[in-house]
C-alpha cells in the first residue's frame, strides 16, 4: 500500500513554458548527485531518520503507560506549539476525522496558542480528575507552553492537591537539559524523551507524536512501519521525496515562490498546516551554508478541496505564475455515501444521483487539476491508496525527506530557525528575563512609531 507522486503536470509537455523540462532536471544532475551524497553522509546528523527503527522500547513504554492510565482518563490535553502540536493534530484528524471528540474517548485537545479566551473556554469543559495534561517542550523554555504548564500546574494543585497532580501531568522533553526535565524529576511526573538531534518540526514520529496517537487508539507500530517503508523507497535516487524537492527547487528558481498544499480530503486537511511549518521554517533562510546572503524559500499556502475551489482556485488558475500546487488525494475512503436519485426530472441536478460523494470529490480534484493544466499552471498529486497509519507514516516521512533534500539543493541549513529565535529573544527581553539585558537595550533603541501612520 504505497503512496504515489504524479508529477506529469509539472512538466513542459503538459503545462508548456511554465513547466519543467527534462533538460532542466538533467542540467541539475551534478547538484542532485551532490545532495544525494550529502543526505547519506549526514545521515548520522539527522536523528529523525532513525525514528522508524530505534524506538521499540519507547513504543512499549508508551503502550504500557497508556494501558495503565487510560481507565481513569477521558480527556487528553496536549500543551505544545509548532511541531509539538501540528503533527498530533494532523494525524488524529487523518485517522479519526473531524468529529472524533464527539463520539470517542479519550477526547484530545491540542492547545497550541496562549489566547486567554481559548484557555478559559477549555478549562470550563474539563473534569480535572479525568484529564491528563501532556506538556511538550524539548528546551523546557518555550514561553507559550511553559506559561500554559504553569497555569495548569497551579490549577491542578489548588483543586486536587500536589500528590494527585502528579498523576495528571506527563512531560515530553529533553532527557538531560532544560527546565521541564528538572521540574518533572523534582515533581515526579511521568516523562518521555525527545531524542537528541530531533527538532520540533521533525518530531512527529517520536514520543512527541506517538504518545497522543497511542492515547487515541492509533496504531503507532504501523505508523513507524510506514515511515520505514518510505525510507527504503528513498534509498533509490529516483524516489518521490527527492523528485518533490527537485521540482520545487527548479520551480523556485523560475520565480514560483509559493507552494500550495491542497488536500481533497477533510482527513488530510491539517497535513497542510504541518507541511507549512516544515517547509517554511526549514527552507526560509537568509544565509547559505557558506555565509552568503541568499534569502531563499517558498511560502507555503494551505487550501482544501473542494472547499477552496470556491475561494482560491480562481487565483491559482488565472493569477500570477508564482505557484506550485500539490494535491493530496485518497483513492478509497473508509466510508462513502451514495447520492440519492432525486430530482431526476431536473437534468442540472439529476446527473448527481447514483454517484457517491467520494467520486464527486475525486472528480472535482481531477477537474481542478485539468483547469490548472489547461492554463499552464504546474501541479502535482500525492495519492494515498487509503488513509491509515501505514500510509500516514509514509507521507510524514516522505515530506520530511523532501524538505531535507531541498535544503541540500539550496545549500542551506534546513534544521535551524534563527529568525524564530530572534522573536523569542525579543519576547524574553521585553519580559525582563535575566540574561537578556543587551537585547532589552537594543529594543529600546528601536525607532519609535509615528502617530501620523496610525489612524
Q: Which residues are catalytic?
A: 281, 310, 424
Question: For the chain, what is the radius of gyration of the CA atoms?
Answer: 24
Residue 439's alpha-carbon distances to 185, 287, 374, 424, in angstroms, are 32, 22, 53, 11
Asked if 213 contacts 223 with a C-beta cutoff of 8 angstroms, the reply is yes
Question: How far apart are alpha carbons 217 and 236 in whole angstroms?
Answer: 33
Phi-psi region of 328 (alpha: psi -120 to 50; beta: other; left: phi over 0): beta
**E-only strand ranges, 331-449:** 379-384
- CA dist 282 → 96, 191, 411 (Å): 29, 28, 12
- Within 8 A by CB and 6+ apart from 226, the residues are 389, 390, 391, 392, 393, 394, 397
d(CA 294, CA 235): 30
CB hemisphere CA count around 296 (13 angstroms): 26
Q: Bridge partners of 191? A: 171
Three-state DSSP at 175 gives coil
What are the grid coordinates assigned to 62, written together? 508508551
Amino acid at each position: 500500500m504505497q503512496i504515489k507522486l504524479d508529477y506529469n503536470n509539472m512538466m513542459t509537455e503538459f503545462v508548456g513554458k511554465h513547466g519543467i523540462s527534462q533538460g532542466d532536471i538533467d542540467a541539475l544532475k551534478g547538484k542532485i548527485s551532490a545532495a544525494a551524497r550529502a543526505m547519506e553522509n549526514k545521515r548520522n546528523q539527522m536523528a529523525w531518520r532513525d525514528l522508524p527503527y530505534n524506538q521499540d522500547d519507547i513504543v512499549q513504554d508508551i503502550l504500557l503507560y497508556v494501558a495503565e492510565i487510560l481507565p481513569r482518563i477521558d480527556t487528553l490535553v496536549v500543551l505544545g506549539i509548532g511541531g509539538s502540536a501540528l503533527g498530533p493534530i494532523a494525524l488524529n484528524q487523518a485517522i479519526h476525522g473531524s468529529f472524533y471528540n464527539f463520539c470517542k474517548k479519550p477526547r484530545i485537545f491540542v492547545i497550541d496558542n496562549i489566547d486567554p479566551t481559548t484557555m478559559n473556554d477549555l478549562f470550563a469543559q474539563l473534569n480535572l480528575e479525568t484529564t491528563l495534561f501532556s506538556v511538550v517542550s524539548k528546551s523546557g523554555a518555550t514561553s507559550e507552553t511553559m506559561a500554559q504548564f504553569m497555569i495548569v500546574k497551579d490549577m491542578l494543585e489548588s483543586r486536587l492537591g500536589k500528590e494527585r497532580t502528579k498523576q495528571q501531568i506527563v512531560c515530553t522533553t529533553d532527557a538531560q537539559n532544560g527546565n521541564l526535565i528538572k521540574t518533572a524529576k523534582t515533581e515526579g511526573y511521568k516523562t518521555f524523551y525527545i531524542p537528541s538531534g530531533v527538532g520540533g518540526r521533525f518530531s512527529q514520529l517520536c514520543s512527541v507524536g506517538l504518545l497522543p496517537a497511542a492515547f487515541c487508539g492509533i496504531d503507532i507500530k504501523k505508523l513507524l512501519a510506514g515511515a520505514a517503508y518510505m525510507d527504503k523507497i528513498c534509498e533509490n535516487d529516483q524516489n518521490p521525496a527527492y523528485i518533490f524537492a527537485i521540482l520545487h527547487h527548479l520551480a523556485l528558481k523560475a520565480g514560483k515562490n509559493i507552494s500550495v498544499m491542497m488536500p481533497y480530503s477533510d482527513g488530510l486537511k491539517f497535513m497542510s498546516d504541518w507541511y507549512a511549518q516544515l517547509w517554511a521554517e526549514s527552507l526560509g533562510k537568509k544565509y547559505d551554508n557558506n555565509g552568503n546572503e541568499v534569502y531563499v524559500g517558498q511560502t507555503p499556502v494551505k487550501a482544501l478541496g473542494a472547499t477552496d475551489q470556491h475561494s482560491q482556485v480562481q487565483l491559482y488558475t488565472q493569477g500570477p505564475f508564482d505557484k506550485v500546487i500539490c494535491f493530496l488525494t485518497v483513492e478509497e475512503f473508509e466510508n462513502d455515501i451514495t447520492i440519492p436519485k432525486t430530482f431526476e426530472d431536473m437534468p442540472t441536478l439529476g446527473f448527481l444521483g447514483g454517484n457517491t460523494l467520494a467520486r464527486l470529490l475525486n472528480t472535482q480534484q481531477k477537474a481542478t487539476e485539468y483547469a490548472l493544466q489547461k492554463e499552464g499552471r504546474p501541479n502535482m498529486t500525492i495519492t494515498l491508496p487509503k488513509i491509515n497509519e501505514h500510509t500516514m507514516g509514509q507521507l510524514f516521512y516522505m515530506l520530511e525527506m523532501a524538505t531535507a533534500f531541498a535544503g541540500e539543493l539550496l545549500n542551506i541549513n534546513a534544521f535551524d530557525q534563527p529568525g524564530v529565535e530572534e522573536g523569542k529573544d525579543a519576547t524574553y527581553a521585553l519580559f525582563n528575563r535575566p540574561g537578556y539585558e543587551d537585547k532589552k537595550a537594543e529594543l529600546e533603541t528601536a525607532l519609535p512609531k509615528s502617530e501620523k501612520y496610525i489612524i
